[in-house]
Chain A
Amino acid sequence: MKKVFQTLALIALACGIGVTAQASTPEQDLQAFQNFFKKRFPSVEMDDYANGAYAIDPAGRENWEAIEEFPPYEPFIDDGKTMWDKPFTNGKTYSDCFPDGPAIAGKYPYWDKEKGMVMTLPLALNQCLEANGEKPLKYKKGPINNILSYIAFESRGQTTNVVIPKDDPRALQAYEDGKKFYYARRGQLNFSCASCHIQNAGMILRTEILSPALGHTTHFPVYRSKWGTVGTLHRRFSGCNQQVRAKAFKAQGEEYRNLEYFLTYMSNGLPLNGPGARK
């Protein structure tokens, strides 16, 4: 009898340990995440999530398609090409830093094992500039949006494919930190990113339809009518944080880079279609 109890207790213990120790893997997170949207918007084709709210808002889509006939981000692409082609003072160009360029958006963000951090495209661009004695660009507004627009445009059609290398636990940690950031409540208004873009995706906040989180990273940099210009992903992160009355974090700081790492991973499989135009 004692032996039976002991065995049962051992099994219970093992089960208990098994359950508590099992955190979800990124692959499981991705499945749960994408399945949520498939269930909520069964008529939307996967690739169309790259078009944000316009995938789920027919009236908005009509307006947007009209805008896309004369895309407001076009001048930025042109200026970006000029930037890409223009040699630095030392005679080198962006091509020397990025031999595969300019269609390189699909490589980012990635885990930089050597530096032990998430590498994003804007950060890589500035590292190139600084390595060549040029002044770095600001990360939210200004000319970085030109070169990012050009790179995004040239990279259209590439597939989101963020990799979390299994041979470096720090990469998984960065992903988990980004994930935690996404689901954590913040600001006086106590919203998490998920509150609006997962839990209430497709619902209407005052007059605006809340866009699904799936597809959020495919179309940056983005021309936002509200901004009257093109802006970066981290600029949008910053704005969102302020909208919930939280103090924004630093553009290209660790929080937003890890957040970008997690969020882009969640759109794995979706096509890149930047630069985008949004309300």
Chain B
Amino acid sequence: MHKKLFFLITLLAGILCTGMTTTLLADDASAAKVQKLIDAADAARKEAASVGGEWRDTGKMIDSAKELLGKGDYVAAAKLANEAAKQGHLGYAQAMSQKDLKMPSYLHYE
């Protein structure tokens, strides 16, 4: 009887601990993933900046993503980081598309 009880309690404890450990490990894995996304976003931002194409809000988005990561809100942090990365890429593409001066058609040269 005691043996059985002891076994059951140990089993329950083991399950709970494994559950917590799994959660913690999953947390670490998520945090690492999100950090990678934030790093990628910042790299994209810097690339845009290197050609004078950084957008106004990209840096702030990355800062907010870092804050969310710190709070453990991985889903929101990841979403924001991805949005920031998109801004970085678009800003870079925009600057590159404007590299060769195109005078507008409404200016008339004789």
Of chain B, the residue at the smallest CB distance from A195 is B104
Q: Tell me if A's interface is mostly helix, strand, loop or mixed.
A: helix
Which among B6-14, B55-63, B68-76 touches the partner chain? B55-63
Contact B106 A183 (CB under 8 A): no
Q: How far is the CB of A39 from chain B (nearest CB, A)?
A: 9
Contact B104 A185 (CB under 8 A): no
Residues of B within 8 A of A242 (CB): 56
B93-110 to A contact mask, C-beta < 8 Å, 1/0: 011011001111011111
Contact A32 B53 (CB under 8 A): no
Chain B residues touching A, range: 20 to 34
- Give the docked Cα–Cα distance between A17 and B59 (Å): 45
Of chain A, the residue at the smallest CB distance from B55 is A188
Q: How far is the CB of B52 from chain A (nearest CB, A)?
A: 7
Contact B104 A246 (CB under 8 A): no
Of chain B, the residue at the smallest CB distance from A185 is B98
A247-B55, A247-B56, A247-B58 are contacts. A186–B108 as well, Cβ < 8 Å?
A: no
Q: How far is the CB of A234 from chain B (nearest CB, A)?
A: 16
Contact B109 A24 (CB under 8 A): yes
Partner of A255, one of B49, B52, B101: B52
Partner of B107, one of A32, A188, A245: A32
- Give the docked Cα–Cα distance between A247 and B104 (Å): 24
A45-63 to B contact mask, C-beta < 8 Å, 1/0: 0000000000000000000
Within 8 A of A (CB), among B35-92: 49, 52-59, 87, 90
- Give the docked Cα–Cα distance between A241 and B104 (Å): 20
Of chain A, the residue at the smallest CB distance from B98 is A184
Chain B CB within 10 Å, residue with most, of A36, A185, A198, A247:
A247
A186-B94, A246-B55 are contacts. A180–B101 as well, Cβ < 8 Å?
A: yes
- Give the docked Cα–Cα distance between A103 and B102 (Å): 38
- Give the docked Cα–Cα distance between A246 and B51 (Å): 13
Of chain A, the residue at the smallest CB distance from B109 is A32
The yes or no answer to A157 lying at the interface (CB within 8 A) is no
Contact A245 B104 (CB under 8 A): no
